[in-house]
Amino acid sequence: MNNKIIIAYICAVVISILTTGCMTTTQKGTAVGTGVGAALGIGIGALAGHAGMGTIVGAGAGAVGGALVGDHMDQERGEAEKANLERQLELERQSSSGQGQNKIEGHYEYVKKRKWVDTSKKERIWVEERQEGNRRIEGHYEDMNVPSGYWQEYEEKIWIPGHYE
Specify the DSSP class assigned to residue 2: H
Compute the distance between CA of residue 165 and CA of residue 158 in angstroms, rounded to an integer.
Answer: 18
Compute the distance between CA of residue 5 and CA of residue 38 in angstroms, rounded to an integer.
Answer: 11
Q: What tens-digit pLDDT sequence spans the chain (165 residues)?
A: 567 667 766 766 666 666 656 677 777 777 788 778 877 887 788 787 877 788 788 878 887 888 888 888 888 888 888 888 888 888 777 765 555 567 888 889 999 999 989 888 889 989 999 998 899 999 999 998 888 888 999 999 989 888 777
**135-165 CB burial, b ≥16 within 10 A, e <16:** eeeeeeeeeeeeeeeeeeeeeeeeeeeeeee
